[in-house]
Protein backbone atom coordinates (compact mmCIF):
# COMPACT_ATOMS: atom_id res chain seq x y z
CA UNK A 1 0.00 0.00 0.00
CA UNK A 2 1.54 3.26 -1.15
CA UNK A 3 0.32 6.38 0.60
CA UNK A 4 1.73 8.66 -2.13
CA UNK A 5 -0.28 6.83 -4.80
CA UNK A 6 -3.45 7.10 -2.71
CA UNK A 7 -2.93 10.83 -2.27
CA UNK A 8 -2.25 11.38 -5.97
CA UNK A 9 -5.33 9.40 -6.94
CA UNK A 10 -7.56 11.37 -4.57
CA UNK A 11 -6.27 14.71 -5.80
CA UNK A 12 -8.70 17.60 -5.87
CA UNK A 13 -8.21 21.17 -7.05
CA UNK A 14 -10.03 24.27 -5.83
CA UNK A 15 -9.73 28.02 -6.24
CA UNK A 16 -7.59 29.48 -3.44
CA UNK A 17 -10.20 32.10 -2.53
CA UNK A 18 -13.52 33.59 -3.61
CA UNK A 19 -15.39 36.70 -2.58
CA UNK A 20 -18.98 37.79 -2.86
CA UNK A 21 -21.26 40.40 -1.34
CA UNK A 22 -23.96 39.42 1.12
CA UNK A 23 -26.97 38.03 -0.73
CA UNK A 24 -25.17 37.55 -4.07
CA UNK A 25 -25.06 33.91 -5.14
CA UNK A 26 -21.69 32.19 -5.30
CA UNK A 27 -20.44 29.04 -6.97
CA UNK A 28 -17.57 27.21 -5.24
CA UNK A 29 -16.13 24.62 -7.59
CA UNK A 30 -13.90 21.61 -7.13
CA UNK A 31 -12.11 19.57 -9.79
CA UNK A 32 -11.42 15.87 -9.18
CA UNK A 33 -10.32 14.39 -12.53
CA UNK A 34 -8.94 11.17 -11.03
CA UNK A 35 -12.14 10.18 -9.21
CA UNK A 36 -12.78 6.44 -9.01
CA UNK A 37 -16.15 4.86 -9.85
CA UNK A 38 -16.95 3.94 -6.25
CA UNK A 39 -15.76 7.18 -4.64
CA UNK A 40 -18.15 9.63 -3.02
CA UNK A 41 -17.70 13.41 -3.10
CA UNK A 42 -17.76 15.17 0.27
CA UNK A 43 -18.01 18.90 0.92
CA UNK A 44 -16.97 20.39 4.26
CA UNK A 45 -16.74 23.84 5.68
CA UNK A 46 -14.69 25.25 8.50
CA UNK A 47 -15.94 28.40 10.18
CA UNK A 48 -13.33 30.66 11.79
CA UNK A 49 -12.13 29.18 15.08
CA UNK A 50 -14.27 26.04 14.69
CA UNK A 51 -13.76 22.44 13.60
CA UNK A 52 -14.76 21.34 10.12
CA UNK A 53 -18.31 20.12 9.50
CA UNK A 54 -19.63 17.89 6.73
CA UNK A 55 -22.15 19.81 4.62
CA UNK A 56 -23.12 17.23 2.03
CA UNK A 57 -21.98 14.08 0.26
CA UNK A 58 -23.05 12.76 -3.12
CA UNK A 59 -22.16 10.28 -5.82
CA UNK A 60 -23.82 12.01 -8.77
CA UNK A 61 -26.53 14.43 -9.80
CA UNK A 62 -27.44 17.23 -7.42
CA UNK A 63 -28.55 17.63 -3.84
CA UNK A 64 -30.39 20.47 -2.16
CA UNK A 65 -28.93 22.03 0.99
CA UNK A 66 -32.05 23.58 2.53
CA UNK A 67 -30.22 24.74 5.69
CA UNK A 68 -27.87 26.86 3.60
CA UNK A 69 -30.18 27.80 0.76
CA UNK A 70 -27.91 26.10 -1.73
CA UNK A 71 -27.19 22.93 -3.62
CA UNK A 72 -24.40 20.59 -4.63
CA UNK A 73 -24.07 19.82 -8.33
CA UNK A 74 -21.91 16.98 -9.64
CA UNK A 75 -20.95 17.06 -13.33
CA UNK A 76 -22.14 14.29 -15.62
CA UNK A 77 -18.65 12.76 -15.86
CA UNK A 78 -18.17 13.23 -12.07
CA UNK A 79 -14.84 14.97 -12.66
CA UNK A 80 -16.00 18.18 -11.00
CA UNK A 81 -18.53 19.37 -8.48
CA UNK A 82 -19.78 22.75 -7.32
CA UNK A 83 -21.41 24.09 -4.22
CA UNK A 84 -23.92 26.80 -5.11
CA UNK A 85 -24.98 29.19 -2.32
CA UNK A 86 -27.99 31.24 -3.44
CA UNK A 87 -27.98 33.94 -0.75
CA UNK A 88 -24.81 33.73 1.30
CA UNK A 89 -24.81 35.62 4.58
CA UNK A 90 -21.90 37.09 6.50
CA UNK A 91 -22.02 34.04 8.79
CA UNK A 92 -21.28 31.77 5.81
CA UNK A 93 -17.74 33.18 5.49
CA UNK A 94 -15.60 30.07 5.95
CA UNK A 95 -13.14 27.70 4.31
CA UNK A 96 -15.06 25.34 2.03
CA UNK A 97 -13.36 22.23 0.74
CA UNK A 98 -14.14 19.02 -1.05
CA UNK A 99 -12.74 15.53 -0.59
CA UNK A 100 -13.16 12.10 -2.13
CA UNK A 101 -13.61 8.84 -0.30
Per-residue pLDDT reduced to its tens digit, 43-86: 999 988 999 999 999 999 999 998 889 999 999 999 999 999 99
Question: What residues are paired with 92 via a beta bridge?
Answer: none
pLDDT beyond 70 at 1: no
Number of compact structural domains in the chain: 1
How confident is residue 5, by pLDDT bands cut at 50, 70 and 90?
A: very low
CATH number of the domain within which 95 lies: 2.60.40.10
Q: What is the mean pLDDT of residues 80-98?
A: 91
Length of the chain: 101
Task: Answer yes or no: is 41 within a domain.
Answer: yes
Can you give the C-alpha Rg of the chain in angstroms? 14
Q: Are 27 and 19 spatial neighbours (Cβ–Cβ below 8 Å)?
A: no
Domain that holds residue 41: 23-100
End-to-end CA distance of the chain: 16
Q: Report the pLDDT value the prediction gives residue 10, as an integer from 0 to 100.
A: 52
What is the share, in percent, of the chain residues with pLDDT greater than 70? 89
Question: What residues are paired with 14 via a beta bridge?
Answer: 30
> Under 8 Å CB-to-CB from 21, ≥6 apart: which residues?
none
In this structure, how many other beta carbons lie within 10 angstroms of the beta carbon of residue 94?
16
Q: What is the pTM of this model?
A: 0.85
pLDDT beyond 50 at 39: yes
Amino acid sequence: FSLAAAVARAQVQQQPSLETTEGSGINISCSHPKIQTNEMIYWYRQLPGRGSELLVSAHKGFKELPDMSGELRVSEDRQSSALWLRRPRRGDAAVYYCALG
